[in-house]
A and B are shown apart, each in its own frame.
Chain A
Amino acid sequence: MLLALSVMPVAIFADDTEKVDIEIPTLDGVINTADLRGQVVYIDFWASWCVPCRKSFPWLNTMLEKYEDQGLTIIGINVDKDAAFAAEFLKETPAMFLIGYDPKATLAELFELPAMPSAFIVSRDGELIDAHYGFKTSATDQYEASIVKALGE
């Protein structure tokens, strides 16, 4: 039983379907991923104290610019306890994509983030199809390839 408990899958999915249905609070409302069916949703968890996150933002902006027309939505979910740090970070490192806030780490717990940053790709029909942990400038080709693959499906 203990073994069974330790290998329980990530419970992001509503019921038994493989759909990612989460509500992400933003500064002026809530993003519901269920409303984004038809779009490829790239969910990126970041924090103000995380150096690789800072490096990932310009790349994420480029990706959005390049693939928005093809149906890419990027949501950066901040996990700072204090939103002031996030605001400071965003001033220094502007983001063109949507920003959500998860100060109580509810979504972080749900996705069982193993590292910061952690990114998840949700397909057009709402399935979690890819994830990568950490951000390495040398691996951006690989990250981009998984976005392109998701857009093509």
Chain B
Amino acid sequence: MINQYRFLSGRLCLVCLVTAVLTGCSGLGVKPWDRDLLAQPEMQIGSDGLRIAVDEHIYFSKEATSGGRGFGGGGCGCN
């Protein structure tokens, strides 16, 4: 009886886990009508646009990273 109970609760846990894994990230993402919030100044990574641009350029061309934060090149410094 106890074994059967364990077996059932184990299966229930498995079902819950699988459901959670399959659906866990399905509700993420910004809705098109919510993008105004992302565009607010307080939602930006940095406060100074010029500084971000310079940092980005260094990442992208000098640091041998694969395109810096975006994906623009191989870090050879040639582009």
Contact = CB atoms under 8 A, between A and B. Distances in A.
Interface of A: 2, 6, 45, 47-49, 79-81, 85, 105, 108-109, 113-116, 118
Interface stretch (B4-12, B32-40, B62-70): B32-40
A45 B33 contact: yes
Contacts of A2: 19, 22-23
Nearest to B23: A2
Interface residues of A, dominant DSSP: loop
Interface size class of B (residues with CB under 8 A): 10 to 19
Nearest to A77: B33
B31 interface: yes
Contacts, number: 33
Nearest to A118: B32
B22 A81 contact: no
A78 B7 CA distance: 54
A48 B32 contact: no
A114 B37 contact: no
B36 A47 contact: yes
A113 B33 contact: yes
Contact of B33 (A6, A47, A85): A47
Contact of A105 (B19, B22, B26, B31): B31
Contacts of A45: 33
Given A2-B22, A108-B31, A118-B32, 14 more contacts: A2-B19, A45-B33, A47-B33, A47-B35, A48-B36, A49-B36, A49-B39, A79-B33, A80-B36, A105-B34, A108-B32, A108-B33, A116-B33, A116-B35
A81 B34 CA distance: 9
Contacts of B31: 105, 108-109, 113
